[in-house]
Structure 1
């Protein structure tokens, strides 16, 4: 019992001495954060002031625990600490940075407490017991406070994102509906250049997809595609449409878009995601048209179901997407153009692939052979066999044949004839 009294007495004295140095300790921690977490300190004046207030309040609360022999499990996080957590949430600062700041601060203050205790507690055994108690108590205090500020952070982050998304969605719909009087003001509000080059896409998870937070996954994909599309510069415009779907505009560094690279990026990130792409376009009118195209392509992809490719581009299926999302009609048209070549079996698929690549390379047997890793004579044989199966002459209906072959490639069994 006497040992417990001695520990409490010594720690109360140490805490009182440190209370007189609270401003100095606060400055020490701010300097520590400038080295270890510089983005927390190199911020606007109001945020740095709030950080300092949070640090001071936490130090003062921790020291009062020892001065008044309080139970750390019954202590509430200081109001300044909670408000700072909320402000970080609004700015999107990772919560791990906030938690790291607490544990860096705990270590620094305990080091000062050790210095103070060593000068005040003469007996080594009493000093050891006191320090063990100090470490245990401060850990319980930090655990208690960090749980509270994390809860405040997560609550504010969810509320902030919901409100921001709602405002952004309202502004985007106004742009799409032609209700924009001041383009510059809309660009500033959205954080996106409407007068530049861009491509619209719709990204979504299928129903029953195994994804814990679909919108977060889609936003990660949008930013990843945005970094690639602009060579590292310019943020995409991301607008949640529902809990599984997002509308996205990517700013482009050129007027072209490599659909194959989009496919690779999507596949690497999450093979459950589906993406419908409009054509690259320019300016406010292009902002609207590329989005409408993406919506058309999405409708076609949804109609095709699991048979559809993960990434569909308007450039590949636009003609059908504009005409209809009625897959039975599209299947009828494909059969009309391709005839027996539209049968859903491995042999027909090989012939379709060879003919599609041959036509895409400007009817070059040599180029097609290189892309298909086949002998030139084998390409010639397959092309002739495919032409014999076509329901329409290739020379007369080449564009129709190319489009039908693209549809077979992108929509698969959804537009093919069952054997």
Structure 2
């Protein structure tokens, strides 16, 4: 019976026995995480926060590493390699309209990382076993050839699958529509032809509110909008996947009323989802700008901390924070100048800031005490200590102090 490493099966001379034994000793789980991190940083930086995408990538890398190790150890002929998770991942990329250039780049950087790990391991084994230099170099050359032969083999299969899926998807109206929306958001389209308007199938003449759902996939977002439409009276909605787990929804009416916006917020709150909501903006430019606003709101949520930020955040709620966060370093200098010792990362400073914010928001130390469930004397004492830390009365530079407290909360990061 022939061994898998027999040249009659592999079509090439097998790796030396000591190299095959070395290949079996690489820590695949640790190497998988290294490859995933490198791929995301180089080929998919825009999807760094998409946990679903990262898991698809991880499953693909994990399977490739296992198969590659089997090939290097002589347990599996290259021609017998059958892919499953890498082909699924190729389909995911095609559905997200990730170009094949990014796919190919991820394979280049990923396999370079794999080669580096096995080459480092080979060097360690060769030194420990006192393998002659010429033999070690031959082993490295054979290892390199085997790894990149495997890369060429699987990358071709994956690219072919990506192209096939992409071609099939390109024939569907929904996929064409998604591509058109992406072009509008990038600013590639400043006007739309009649055929584009038919493809988009959404009224651009009204006022658009964008709801960004950071933890709701496209299908669930579509179901959620059924209830939102019934609650608000909105008839025109466009659901657009930003990635595997984030969705943006355009809700368009001839003119948004205060009551309709109140109902929208209530419907999202009752649904229990996290949502970042834009102001109403009109026309094609408003279609794009409303999406930018919702993204700005979502960045404030991330800075605030998902555990403490309100589930539903509107642009009007955090417009000041959005403006101030455009220059974080200048914002930090402003916070330090206005708050002084109150900006420190201590439990006492945090208590005093919380008490100040409650007092400013509710208008009196009595209301603040009730809200914080503290005795009035405790609140009064805290406000007095805050004045001592500031070096001036709370009535002095009150506006600057309130702004600094709001900004400090974000610049300090999630609690």
Q: Please classify the TM superposition score into its range, dividing by the shorter chain length.
A: 0.3 to 0.5
Length-normalised TM-score, structure 2 = 0.44
**Rg larger in 1 or in 2?**
1
TM-score, normalization by structure 1 = 0.44
